[in-house]
Chain A
Amino acid sequence: NAGVTQTPKFRVLKTGQSMTLLCAQDMNHEYMYWYRQDPGMGLRLIHYSVGEGTTAKGEVPDGYNVSRLKNQNFLLGLESAAPSQTSVYFCASSFWTSGGTGYNEQFFGPGTRLTVL
């Protein structure tokens, strides 16, 4: 199993450009997540998905859009990049657990380092 993979690993954009980050998982997980990691702020949830065709907003969704394709792919789009979106982006996935009492181990990809000039 490859686990969770992310492409690309690095990217430099100019302000106003657009791009899509791709995440794929081969563990048949229902949940997928996009986080951004900034120094001193830990991981903040951007968007998440609980299955093909479903997405929901996380803590910091503005400026990003997502789509969930065929359950194993979760795409993060930046329509018009801004310097404030310079960050390291992590994708994660986990199994569905019932209600609010379930164990929720998330498996992370290696990250995409994005710089917006």
Chain B
Amino acid sequence: GEDVEQSLFLSVREGDSSVINCTYTDSSSTYLYWYKQEPGAGLQLLTYIFSNMDMKQDQRLTVLLNKKDKHLSLRIADTQTGDSAIYFCAESAFSGGYNKLIFGAGTRLAVHP
């Protein structure tokens, strides 16, 4: 079945790089997503990658996709205190004739001075 796994916590020092990892199971997923949830708020799409890409860069964000290992990572360069949030990995799924997203449990990123 469909499953997405990610570690629950990551702590980094301000200015360092953060790397959040995710593994997924559905090899037919065509899009993989990273969502960000700030305290007390809903989720917002941060970035996404199409399954035929290995890497996508967007300013301080770099997404790496290893389809063979079904592994996705999100790198945040020069991490700032404003990056403190929960980051969710999600894979697209098509089930029962409808599109859905399968979310991981979320990685809580804590940035300290």
Contacts and interface: CB of A to CB of B under 8 A. Distances in A.
A40 B94 contact: no
Contact of B43 (A40, A90, A96, A102): A90
Interface residues on A, range: 20 to 34
A104 B43 contact: no
Contact of B44 (A43, A103, A104, A108): A108
A2 interface: no
Contacts of A48: 98, 100
Interface string B9-33: 0000000000000000000101101
Interface string A77-117: 00000000000001010101101111111101111000000
Contacts, number: 66
A13 interface: no
Contact of B42 (A100, A104, A110): A110
A101 B30 contact: yes
B23 to A, nearest CB: 14
B77 interface: no
B42 A109 contact: yes
Contacts of B104: 42
A29 to B, nearest CB: 12
A106 B88 contact: no
Interface in A38-90: 40-43, 45, 48, 50, 56, 58, 90
B113 interface: no
Contacts of B99: 31, 94, 96-97, 100, 102, 104
Interface string B38-70: 001111110010000000000000000000000
Contacts of B100: 33, 45, 48, 58, 104
5 contacts: A42-B88, A42-B106, A104-B101, A108-B44, A109-B42
